[in-house]
Amino acid sequence: MSPKYPHLFACCIFMIVMAFGTTAFGAKICYDCHKRSIFKNKLIHEPVARDNCTSCHNPHAAKHAGLLKKEVSVLCYTCHGDKKDSFNKGIVHDPVRRGECTSCHDPHASAAKGLMKGKYADSCFNCHESLARTFKYMHQPYAKGQCQSCHSPHQAENYQLLNVSATKICRKCHSQGEIAGAHKNYPVAISTCLSCHNPHGSNNKAIVRSVRHAPFIKDCNTCHGRSTGRVSQETCLGCHEEIREYLLTSHNHLTDNGGNSCVNCHSPHAGDTRQLLKDRPLLLCRSCHNDTYMRHEENIFVHTVTANDCQLCHAVHGANQVAMLKGDGNSVCLGCHPNQGQFSHPVGRGVIDPRNNQEATCLSCHDPHGTDFKGQLKMSGQEALCVQCHHL
Partner 1 sequence: MKKLLFTAMLLLVISGASRQAMAAPLWQWEATLQQKQVGTPMSLPSALHIDPVLGRYYVVDSGNNRILTFDRAGEFHRGFDAADQLRVPFDLVREAGVLWIVEKGKNSLTKIDLEAKKIYPKTLSADGKLLYPDRLEIEKNILYTLDKASGSVFALDKNLNISSRFSCGKCDLGFVDFKIRNGSLWALEQGSKKIYRFAMNGSLQETIQLDRSSVDFPRSIEVDDIGFFYILDRHQGSIAVFDGRGGFRYSFLEPGQARGQLYYPIELKFDPWGRLCVVDEGNGRVQIFSHK
Residue among 125 and 301 whose Cβ is closer to partner 1: 301
* 235 makes contact with partner 1 (CB under 8 A): no
Torsion of CA 227, 228, 232, 238, to 10 degrees: 40
Which ranges of the chain does DSSP label H, i.e. alpha helix?
Answer: 6-22, 24-33, 46-49, 72-79, 94-97, 120-127, 140-143, 176-182, 214-218, 221-224, 233-239, 244-247, 281-297, 331-334, 362-365
Q: How much is the CA Rg of the chain, to the nearest whole Å?
A: 29
How far is the C-alpha of 137 from the C-alpha of 210, rounded, in Å?
11
- The window from 11-19, 201-209, 229-237, 343-351 that contacts partner 1 (CB under 8 A) reads 229-237
> For residue 334, how many other CB atoms are within 10 A of its CB?
17
Q: Report, in Å, the least distance between residue 289 CB and partner 1.
A: 8
Residue among 51 and 256 whose Cβ is closer to partner 1: 256
- The window from 126-134, 164-172, 242-250, 341-349 that contacts partner 1 (CB under 8 A) reads 242-250
How far is the C-alpha of 173 from the C-alpha of 119, rounded, in Å?
23
Q: Report, in Å, the least distance between residue 291 CB and partner 1.
A: 4
How far is the C-alpha of 389 from the C-alpha of 269, rounded, in Å?
53
Q: Report, in Å, the least distance between residue 282 CB and partner 1.
A: 17
The DSSP call for residue 68 is B
* 320 makes contact with partner 1 (CB under 8 A): yes
Strand-pair category, 318-319 with 251-252: antiparallel
Residue among 160 and 292 whose Cβ is closer to partner 1: 292
* 249 makes contact with partner 1 (CB under 8 A): yes
261: nearest Cα among 288, 221, 222 = 288
* 258 makes contact with partner 1 (CB under 8 A): yes
Could you give the string, one character per residue 288-307, with x where binding to partner 1 holds by CB under 8 A and - elsewhere? xx-xx--x------------
Q: Report, in Å, the least distance between residue 158 CB and partner 1.
A: 13
- Binders of partner 1 among residues 330 to 359 (CB under 8 A) are 353, 355-359
Q: Report, in Å, the least distance between residue 293 CB and partner 1.
A: 11
Q: Which of 52, 54, 146, 388 binds partner 1 (CB under 8 A)?
A: 388
Q: How many residues bind partner 1 (CB under 8 A)?
A: 32
How far is the C-alpha of 75 from the C-alpha of 55, rounded, in Å?
9
* 261 makes contact with partner 1 (CB under 8 A): yes
Name residue 211's beta-bridge partners.
271
Q: Report, in Å, the least distance between residue 335 CB and partner 1.
A: 20
How far is the C-alpha of 221 from the C-alpha of 6, rounded, in Å?
95
Q: Report, in Å, the least distance between residue 195 CB and partner 1.
A: 17
Contact 253, 200 (CB under 8 A): no
Interaction site with partner 1 (CB under 8 A): 232-234, 247-250, 252, 254-258, 261, 288-289, 291-292, 295, 320-323, 353, 355-359, 364, 378, 388
